[in-house]
Structure 1
C-alpha cells in the first residue's frame, strides 16, 4: 500500500507542477488539458486515500497526546486561511498564497499529531509540494495585491470556517478517526 500512496503523491505533484514546469506542452493541450489535469488529480486523490488508509502502521515516533489539540487549533487556522482566498473581505490580499499556506499548516499540524510512516510520507510530501508550488509561482508571476473588500464579508469567512471545520470533523469521524480525544 505504500507504493500506492507514493504513486498517488507522485501523480498529484506531477498534475499540479505540469503547467509550471512544461508551460508550452500544457498550452498545446488547450482546454482538454484542464480535463486531463482534473482527472489526474482525482485519480491521485483516490490513490493517496487508498494507499494511506491501507498502509501498514509503522511507528516512527509517538507524539505526546496534547499534539492532537495543537493539530485541531492549527486546522482551524488552516481552514480560516484557506477561506481567505475565496472571500472578498478586508483580509483579501493580506497573503499571497492563502491556499498553499493553508496546506502547509495542515501538513505541519498532522505531522505533529501523527508519528507513523504513512503520515510522515503523506503530510511531509504535501508540505514539500506546497513549498515548491509557492517557489514556482513566485518565480513565474509578479503579484498584484488585491484591494481589501467589504468588512461585512469577514463575518462570512468566520461562518464558512466554522462550517468547514465541522464538515472536516464529520468526515474524520465517518472515516473512524475521532479528532477530539478526551
Structure 2
C-alpha cells in the first residue's frame, strides 16, 4: 500500500468517528434505526474501520525509527490487561459526563465508580492502547497511527467536556464534577458480584485479544 492509500484510510477513519460529535447526524440516524440500533451499528463500524486502519499501517512503506525490544511486548501485555479492565468496568455504566453512558438518569455522583478515576474511561482506554502500541511498532506508519490516535483520544476529552457542559448547562455540569471529585477515589462497590463479573469479562477480553490478534491483525503477540 502507498502512503496515499494509508492517508485515505486514515481520513475515512476520522470521518466515521466524527459522527458522535455531530448531534444532528447522530440524532437523525438514531431516529431512523433506534438508539440501540445506532449504538450497535456504530460499534461494528468503529471496530471495522480501526481494523482496516491498523491493517493499512502494516502495509505502508516501512521506515524504521527504532527497533523492537524484548521488554516492549511484556509492557504491552501488562498495559493491555489494564486497558481491558478499564473498559470492562466502564462500558454500559451510567456516565452523563461522557459518551456511551447507559441509564444516565440513575447516575449517582456520590458513588461514581470508575468515573471518579476517569471521567472519560473509554477515551482513557483508547489513549492507553495507542500509547502502549508505540513501543513495539517503531516504524513511521505505526508511529503516525498510534500517536495520532492517542492525541485524538486526549483531545476528545476536551471536546466532549465542552459539548456536555453546553447540553447540561454550566451549573449542573459544575455541580456534578464537584460532587464526583469529593467521592472516595476507590470506594466499596454496590455489588461485589457485578464487580467480579466485570473483572472476569475484562480478563476474558484480554485473553480473546491475545488469541485473535494474529488472525485479525496478522501479528502474533505471544
How far did residue 7 of structure 1 move?
2.2
Give 1 or 2 for the bigger CA radius of gyration. 2
How far did residue 11 of structure 1 move?
2.1
How far did residue 110 of structure 1 move?
0.3
Structure 1 residue runs without a partner (length 5+): none
How far did residue 179 of structure 1 move?
1.5
* Structure 1 vs Structure 2 CA RMSD: 3.1
Counterpart position of 2:191: 150
How far did residue 84 of structure 1 move?
1.5
**Count of residues in correspondence between the two structures:** 178
Helix, strand or coil: the match of 1:62?
coil
How far did residue 90 of structure 1 move?
8.0
Q: Distance in 2 between matches of 1:85 and 1:158?
A: 11
Counterpart position of 2:31: 31
Structure 2 residue runs without a partner (length 5+): 94-110, 166-172
Give the TM-score normalised by the residue count of structure 2: 0.66
Check if 1:72 corresponds to 2:77: yes
Per-residue CA deviation, residues 122-155 of structure 1 (Å, 9 max, x unaligned), is 2112111111221110111146459953222121
> In structure 2, do the counterparts of structure 1 residues 43 and 79 end up closer, same or farther at CA, with 3 Å as the change threshold?
closer
Counterpart position of 1:54: 59
How far did residue 121 of structure 1 move?
1.8
Per-residue CA deviation, residues 25-52 of structure 1 (Å, 9 max, x unaligned), is 55456634949x8386466346414412
Q: Distance in 1 between matches of 2:205 and 2:15?
A: 28
Counterpart position of 1:178: 220
Give the TM-score normalised by the residue count of structure 1: 0.79
How far did residue 60 of structure 1 move?
1.3
Counterpart position of 1:121: 144
CA contact (8 A) 1:111 1:123 kept: yes
CA contact (8 A) 1:80 1:158 kept: yes
> In structure 2, do the counterparts of structure 1 residues 167 and 25 end up closer, same or farther at CA, with 3 Å as the change threshold?
closer
